[in-house]
Structure 1
């Protein structure tokens, strides 16, 4: 019985996780370094930069071999040039595409950070439960052994012995499940980080890094998805200007030898205009580009609406879990220790029977488990809020 009482006031160390813990920041750095998605985003940026050189998109010259007099062949060259603004707008459009791909890379990086932080938190949570259940398992194993001896000596009845065994079995089952969760979490984190080393997390602590929230004025300026939608608006706006420029006349220049061999060189040049005669098709493209711009604006507004709803939900969850966490840290945990201490003292002096003692222990350790649950939920909610606001 003395060993049981000692267990109630001490926490055993988890030998299975003896290696140096991997910090959250180290996990993030490893994930960013080894991310195939991030490398792919970098290649998209490089591809768009390479396309910038061809953005002006000059048309190929026409080289013509002809016989103007039927007596000899001459070579002529014709080059059609668009309105100068077209080339400027095409180059600007490609630059806007580069900016878009850079902003999309930020989304990828932001998502990786959020996913790593969330998985890391789950691992912290699972490992915390393992430590708690390991302690309880060792405690209940000793209680079960003690109850068996007392039952054989006739000091307790069969119900008390069976109840102790069932409680011990329940804790062992929870411990096995938590260990399985840890293994799963480690494998998931290894995949995300691109490493094969075994991983153990640091002890879970209350997260206090929360971005300020202003629901009245929040336009999510830091959220990378909004930045992408805004950049899409800029691209579509530039596309309108490009289509308008394409509706302007083009220039045709050329060199033709359609005269005699002794025709002066200055009489062999041609110059003309490419007339946008079919205005209907140009107007249609301009209207389509304008519709695309309006569509991009509405998609931005829709994304802001979705983010606002998610942020409202996350804020509500935060207040709920913060209140629960405050309770456990100011009262709940202290009360659970007092319950354990009092129940142990009463049981030791014979003022509490076996069944009441076990039920009291179970209730006290349930409070500890709920504290870990509240801590995990609180921290995850903060991660959600910071992710929605774009502050990773």
Structure 2
């Protein structure tokens, strides 16, 4: 029997899924997927897996997919990042028996994706992408799907989507943001781009971006004509988003912890990250418990901190507790609700260097942590000692180097010229003996 394609795949295998949980690295693991399904999600994706590692490492396969096989967890799409057609297909062949489709990640905008040359950083290499999708479509027994980001130009985005469809993509998820819309510059996703893609292709399309409430889902479907809507951050802050409910945070946190216990093993860092997301607004106020949540090293410890947060919030809700300060949120901070990013600036400016009279509060979080470990460390650039630069690479030169070079450049010079430099004398002696 030939595999289902396009709309038949969406109707029969995915059961016309409209409410979709996004692939999220270290966050869309089995326990979270099951929780989301209990509260309205109709389709889930695995976290993004690295195709090359998946092929090479049996432990990676077992820990990230094989151990998570669960009858309740269907339909399920497994996502990979890859930049080599053969490696991508090898990984997909190893995963296809454990899911309903294979997704190629063409949307990750993070620096790790840039360094690894995958995700959205492949979006200009159409010949490579066409080959990857076409080969997967030919070799796999399950459909191949893609998740993309848009170009600034709508017409180019449409041609991009059409190229992937022609290559064999059977379902397309369009995140309505560009490669540069991330972090502080995230901004608003363009539903106009998504609408244009939907009109131009003959395969199902999911929309991603600007989803914070169930009303956003319904409005997005109406405005763009897509078959389904995918949520990432909205789902992390409120797993009941697709039910149209905003339950107390502790209700979702306790249910999630129960699912984790029922489906071990679950990496502790995943659980901690979910609790930080769920309790995000409350932890801005109760900073002491934020520190506790970061430090505890057991599942029981995480559950205990969550319980303490619940008790504090319930006291305040009953009027018996004292709120430390106003949250400025539309709902009480203990109710599941979206995190709204601060408005991005049109120009991204670097933070000014710290002045000598600044306090630790103005330092970055990373530097504050370093200062807590080493209170005497100097963070003022003006008071730091000035170093003479290496003549070749610009790094600080070695204190004893007669060539005005850093340790690395000095070693190379001493090796080539068989010269005696105090800083590399031991190395040169070794080289001379071996030669």
Give the TM-score, by structure 2 length.
0.17
Larger gyration radius, structure 1 or structure 2: 1
TM-score by length of 1: 0.18
Higher relative contact order (CA 8 A, sep 6+): 1
**Structure holding more helix per residue:** 1
